[in-house]
Amino acid sequence: MKKKKCYIYTRVSTAAQTEGYSLEAQQEKLLQYAKYKDLIVAGEYCDAGKSGKSIKGRPAFMEMLDDISSEKDGISYVLVFKLSRFGRNAADILKSMQLLSDYDVDLVCVEDGIDSSTQGGRLTLSILSAVAEIERDNINIQFAAGRMQKLMNGGWPGGPAPYGYRCKNKQLVLEEYEAAIVKLIFDLYLQDDMKANTVVRWLNDNGYSRVVKGKERPFTSDSVKTIISNPVYCGRLMYNRRTNLKGTQVKPKDEICVTGAHTPIISEEQWEQVQTKREELSSWGEKVEDLDRVSLLSGLVKCPACGGGLVHMKNKHINRNKGGYYKTIHYYSCRNYRKSAGRTCNFNHTYNQDKVDSAVLEVVSRISTMPRFEKAIESILGSQASAECLENELKSLRKQLHNQEHLKYKLGERLDALDILSDNYDFEYERIQAQIDDTYDAIEEIESKISKCKKRMEALKKGEKSVENIKTIMRNFPMLYEEMDCYERREMYQHFIDRIELYPEEMPDGRILKSITFKFAVYYNDEHAFNVINSKEAKADDVIFFTIDCAEIGPTVAEAKATYAQIKTYVLENHGLKVSSLYIAQIKRKYGIDVGEAFNKPSDPSKRVPKCPKEKEIAIIDALKAFRMLDKEVVYYEEAAE
């Protein structure tokens, strides 16, 4: 039988030597144990006079971990005299132990009788894990307290600097050009004929722009509103300002307002004047008609040209014959085409909102019967099907994490070793610091993947599969939709739909839907399983994405619905007859098709209205069937005489 290999690790500090744990004593004990267990000592690592407070100060320990991760000697054990020699920091012990576990290496603490390959050894390490969790919580609390203290002293607490400022040495410093634009925006807004959108148009028409991610962009309504609503410009710093969420079950936190140490751009008086005007103007935009109507798919439907979200617009035409207005028509149009958004898109086509909404509703209502939906659901189940696969994935992620953490450690050493008197010190410092920042980002991403993988494993053990709940919801979607108000319907769509692509122009068969990309949040905790409307408050453990190509399922009933002009053309081409809009409206009403209110009724109610002849009625019925506006079983019938 092939002998197994091991490393031995010894460490001693000045205090440890007085307790009789000299390097020689530790080494002798470990070599005796290796001989007793018939193990080959493939390497010896020693940190003399090094504290166990952190693994960062122990180069031999770090070298040993590197050799393990590179599988240099193919060892099976690491032998230490006592667990305290391995480390005194519980978090470091657990992290290092996890690395050993990922490479199938067991830890043996000879004096303590701990062997991670045994059940008792694993129990001891589980207790250490709980201790590490408490340590991490304490660190988070201390971090939050430090950030709060910095805020109370008027310092910038962190995050991106507002437009008009730069963050230097953790303080806000004026950027003169941008600060002048901020002052101009506040001055313009206070003029009598100015609102946020008119300020935007004025800025863009006069050649002003802003830099976003290194590129020049026009000002938008959102960017101007963000500026005039930010109290930092009058010298104030706010904390917990955006946690007072109205209409939610989130417990609000007390707002904290302090005077910042930065230079204000506007006065307190001007700030108050702007806020007063904003409150006065906010009531102007309140709805006065269609109070219960909301645009269900705004933002979800995308512009075919720029990819931006389409938003609601409406047309109201005056009825010059009878007075008042015709029926209001609601549309979707590209937000980026509007001047208030800087007109960064030239796509001015509009889509009838009722037609788009109805078409999407039909597709969503049919999704539970589509094979692609079943495959997407099964894919998430398949990714959890094997505990062994998840274990291997977790090991791989932990190896990646160790590599990144070791890289961070090495970069830190290089940073500390820089010669401060060197001519290129600043350049080298910034270069290495940038590499360290990238490493932190990579560590954060890997840790997020590890957390998700652990949750999957836990879900697998418990048998919790919220995908079954998704199936149930989608099977009952039409019924749920009918019971919801328009606000709940919009929330439902935003939860289940990622984006809706439209054709630039209506296709010959009437189709306007190009594709719909669905997203289904998977929660492994039943607490959020059916929480559809408020699910944004919870972070999903998984998200299933898949796209339906609407060309494969053909036009929906709403898309196939023909205009009066299309019906006239069909009747003429297929029956050689000319029919009027009046005749078409009569037949639609007769067979139960809603045609809405007639806005051009004759002034004399007793005036005779021509009735559609039988021949033309049969032709119109045929056209309505062709456009799927009537069932094929519908047949002509004579109305009873009045």
User: What is the three-state SS of 426-468?
Assistant: HHHHHHHHHHHHHHHHHHHHHHHHHHHHHHHHHHHHHCCCCHH
Is residue 272 in some structural domain?
yes
Residue 416 has pLDDT above 70, yes or no: yes
Residue 114 pLDDT level (bands cut at 50, 70, 90): confident
Span 57-93, pLDDT tens digits: 688 888 888 888 888 888 999 998 887 777 766 666 7
- DSSP per position, 76-115: -EEEESSHHHH-S-HHHHHHHHHHHHHTT-EEEETTTTEE
Mean pLDDT confidence for 512-535: 63
Is residue 362 in some structural domain?
yes
Describe the crossing of helices 425-462 and 387-416 by its angle, rounded to 10 degrees.
160
Mean pLDDT confidence for 548-554: 84
172: region left, alpha or beta (phi > 0 left; psi from -120 to 50 alpha): beta
Say if residue 483 is in the same domain as residue 527: yes
Better-predicted residue by pLDDT, 38 or 257: 38
Tell me if residue 496 falls in helix, strand or coil. Answer: helix
In the structure encoding, which two tokens stand for residue 208, read together?
């002003």
Residue 251 has pLDDT above 50, yes or no: no
Residue 136 has pLDDT above 50, yes or no: yes
Residues with Cβ within 8 Å of residue 461, at least 6 apart in sequence: 387
The residue out of 526, 553, 580 marking a domain boundary is 553
Give the single-character DSSP code of 640: P
640: region left, alpha or beta (phi > 0 left; psi from -120 to 50 alpha): beta
Mean pLDDT confidence for 145-163: 68
Say if residue 11 is in the same domain as residue 102: yes
Is residue 635 in some structural domain?
no
User: With contact defined as beta carbons under 8 Å apart, do 58 and 93 qualify?
Assistant: no
Mark 473-497 as b/e (b = at least 16 C-beta within 10 Å).
Answer: bbeebeeeeeeeeeeebbbbbbbbb
Is residue 267 in some structural domain?
yes
Mean pLDDT confidence for 233-251: 60
Residue 29 has pLDDT above 60, yes or no: yes
In the structure encoding, which two tokens stand for residue 192, read together?
């009598």
In the prediction, which pLDDT does 537 show?
43
Is residue 641 in some structural domain?
no
Label residue 358 exposed, middle or buried (CB < 10 Å: 0-12, 13-18, 19+): middle
Say if residue 24 is in the same domain as residue 135: yes
In Å, what is the CA distance from 111 to each residue of 26, 27, 46, 82, 121? 10, 12, 17, 5, 13
Say if residue 302 is in the same domain as residue 262: no
Residue 572 has pLDDT above 90, yes or no: yes
Span 472-503, pLDDT tens digits: 878 888 888 888 888 888 888 888 899 999 99
Say if residue 475 is in the same domain as residue 368: yes
Residue 248 has pLDDT above 50, yes or no: no
In the prediction, which pLDDT does 624 show?
87
Mean pLDDT confidence for 410-435: 82
Q: What is the domain range of residue 338?
A: 296-381+465-553
In the prediction, which pLDDT does 534 show?
41
Residues with Cβ within 8 Å of residue 48, at least 6 apart in sequence: 11, 12, 23
Element (H, E) at 333: strand 329-334
Label residue 366 exposed, middle or buried (CB < 10 Å: 0-12, 13-18, 19+): middle
Say if residue 434 is in the same domain as residue 471: no
Looking up residue 49, the CATH number of its domain turns out to be 3.40.50.1390
| Domain count of the fold of the chain | 5
In the prediction, which pLDDT does 22 show?
79
Task: Tell me how far apart the alpha carbons of residues 186 and 626 are, in angstroms, rounded to a whole number.
Answer: 59
Tell me if residue 62 falls in helix, strand or coil. Answer: helix
In the prediction, which pLDDT does 533 show?
37
Mean pLDDT confidence for 369-375: 79
Worst-scoring range by mean pLDDT, 65-69, 252-256, 456-460, 609-613?
Answer: 252-256
In the structure encoding, which two tokens stand for residue 560, read together?
């196939």
Task: Tell me how far apart the alpha carbons of residues 69 and 21 are, in angstroms, rounded to a whole number.
Answer: 28
Worst-scoring range by mean pLDDT, 158-167, 304-313, 320-329, 594-603?
Answer: 594-603
Say if residue 364 is in the same domain as residue 475: yes
Residues with Cβ within 8 Å of residue 204, at least 6 apart in sequence: 218, 219, 339, 342, 343
Is residue 153 in some structural domain?
no
Name, of 146-150, 241-245, 482-486, the range with top average pLDDT. 482-486
Span 181-224, pLDDT tens digits: 999 999 999 998 888 888 988 998 888 888 887 788 888 888 89
Element (H, E) at 334: strand 329-334
The residue out of 230, 265, 285 marking a domain boundary is 285
Say if residue 122 is in the same domain as residue 265: no
Say if residue 366 is in the same domain as residue 421: no
Residue 16 has pLDDT above 50, yes or no: no
Counting residues of the chain whose pLDDT is more than 90, the rounded percentage is 14
- DSSP per position, 29-52: HHHHHHHHTT-EEEEEEEEET--S
Is residue 149 in some structural domain?
no
Residue 242 has pLDDT above 90, yes or no: no
Say if residue 449 is in the same domain as residue 584: no
In the block, residue with structure tokens 């969790």: 133
Residue 463 has pLDDT above 60, yes or no: no
Looking up residue 173, the CATH number of its domain turns out to be 3.90.1750.20
In the prediction, which pLDDT does 7 show?
93
Average pLDDT score, the chain = 78
Is residue 576 in some structural domain?
yes
In sequence order, what are the beta bridge partners of 518?
Answer: 497, 546
Say if residue 491 is in the same domain as residue 572: no
Task: Tell me how far apart the alpha carbons of residues 179 and 264 are, in angstroms, rounded to a whole number.
Answer: 9
Say if residue 111 is in the same domain as residue 26: yes
Task: Tell me how far apart the alpha carbons of residues 592 and 269 are, in angstroms, rounded to a whole number.
Answer: 63
Helix runs in 541-642, H state only? 550-553, 557-560, 564-575, 581-590, 614-626
Name, of 154-168, 299-313, 518-532, the range with top average pLDDT. 299-313
What φ, ψ does residue 525 adopt, rounded to 5°? -105, 125
